[in-house]
Structure 1
Amino acid sequence: MTVRGVDHVGLTVPDVDAATTFLVEAFDAVVLYDTLPADAPPKGGHETDERLGVPDGAREVRVRMLALPGGPGIELFAFDGAAQGAPAVPTDLGWQHVALYVDDLDVTLDRVVRAGAVALGVPRPLPGPEEGARNRFVYVRTPWGSTVELLTYPDPQPYEAHTDRRRWHP
């Protein structure tokens, strides 16, 4: 078995169309297809509960696949029929953010904020084993509250002196 990379990230949002608009405006995402379009009946019941591990009564009402330039995909889900908690923050258990490698952090941050995200501070140098003169990162919150990290590391990093393996980036 060989894992070749991340194919897509699944993201539950309150409004698939609004999330799509943000992802297109902020990151040049492209809509590939709707697995469950708005005019299709919702999917629910035992098969959905079992397949996704969702609470009884939850129904998928929209599912859409988008592609980011250079991958991976982002699969948007919308549900009804079940209570939903607040979006995960870094202290919650489980997957808590998606990190996107960008070439120009400042330009990307400006664009993401114009599209509706909130910057959680200013770009900062990557620390310790990731540091380098131009290696930086910043976190943002999407309009629906999910956390995205924007980062760039065009300069060599100290960890590279200790292993031949490198972080994956486009």
Structure 2
Amino acid sequence: MKTTVRGIDHIGITVPDIEQATLFFEKAFGAQVIYCSVEPGSQNIDHTAQQHTLRLFPGTKIRAIRMLCLPSGPGIELFEMHGPEQGHPARASDFGLQHFALYVDDFSQAIAAFTDAGGKMFTEPKPLTFPDEQGEGNAFCYGQTPWGSVVELISWPSPMPYEKKTTLRRWKP
């Protein structure tokens, strides 16, 4: 089947404080601000249209929107929203997007930057154990941003066994 999909352009993350979140992504992952669609305090946004477009809970106001880039991979679009009914970030057992993963070359350095920026690790790096992912040095660990989003740090320097079964490949920076 032919598709026009080329890959993930960006992920959107709702955060309680866009300045704190921007600083976290800069310190933890070397992200840089590309542009601000809506500056904090700007009145240049149609809240009614945004409620319809994003299916926001009635009364929710977008305070700021900012696009970041990482050294490699999709962009990260931060939304600071405030509304009468906001929940906590999804847990892995909840429906919907549950985490995003970042490829790292050095776990020690990545974890130090993550925790120095205010993140909390759930696990230490451990080997990828699913049969199609195993390989020397292939590992992952999980942590949480200051506002509660789950982040996976992953690295697979060795070829994965699935590569012997198909020509399809996971994206790797």
State the TM bucket, normalised to the shorter chain. Answer: over 0.9
String of CA shifts for 1:92-144, please: whole Å, max 9, x gaps.
10000001111112211121111111111110100121011100000010011
- Residue in structure 2 matching 1:139, options 134, 137, 142: 142
Q: What SS does the corresponding residue of 1:129 show, helix, strand or coil?
A: coil
The TM-score, its normalising length taken from structure 2, stands at 0.94
Contact between 1:63 and 1:78, CA under 8 Å: does it hold in 2?
A: yes
Question: Could you say which residue in structure 2 is the equivalent of 1:26?
Answer: 28
Question: Could you say which residue in structure 1 is the equivalent of 2:12?
Answer: 10
* Counterpart code for 1:164: T
Q: Identity of paired residues, percent?
A: 45
- Residue in structure 2 matching 1:119, options 121, 124, 128: 121
Unpaired segments of 5 or more residues in structure 2?
none
TM-aligned CA deviation for residue 43 of structure 1: 3.6
The TM-score, its normalising length taken from structure 1, stands at 0.95
TM-aligned CA deviation for residue 163 of structure 1: 0.7
Alignment of 1:9-158 (within 5 A): 9-41=11-43, 43=45, 45-127=47-129, 128-158=131-161
Q: What SS does the corresponding residue of 1:130 show, helix, strand or coil?
A: coil
String of CA shifts for 1:57-107, please: whole Å, max 9, x gaps.
111111011001112111000112331101111011000000111111221
Unpaired segments of 5 or more residues in structure 1?
none
User: C-alpha separation between the residues in 1 aligned to 2:117 and 2:149?
Assistant: 14
Cα separation, partners in 2 of 1:115 and 1:45, compared to 1, 3 Å:
closer
Contact between 2:98 and 2:150, CA under 8 Å: does it hold in 1?
A: yes
Contact between 2:41 and 2:64, CA under 8 Å: does it hold in 1?
A: no
Q: What SS does the corresponding residue of 2:90 show, helix, strand or coil?
A: coil
Cα RMSD (Å) of the superposition? Answer: 1.3
Q: How many residues align?
A: 170
Contact between 1:42 and 1:61, CA under 8 Å: does it hold in 2?
A: no
Q: What SS does the corresponding residue of 2:76 show, helix, strand or coil?
A: strand
Cα separation, partners in 2 of 1:100 and 1:24, compared to 1, 3 Å:
same
User: C-alpha separation between the residues in 1 aligned to 2:48 and 2:71?
Assistant: 36
* Greater alpha carbon shift after TM alignment, 77-86 vs 140-149: 77-86
TM-aligned CA deviation for residue 44 of structure 1: 5.1
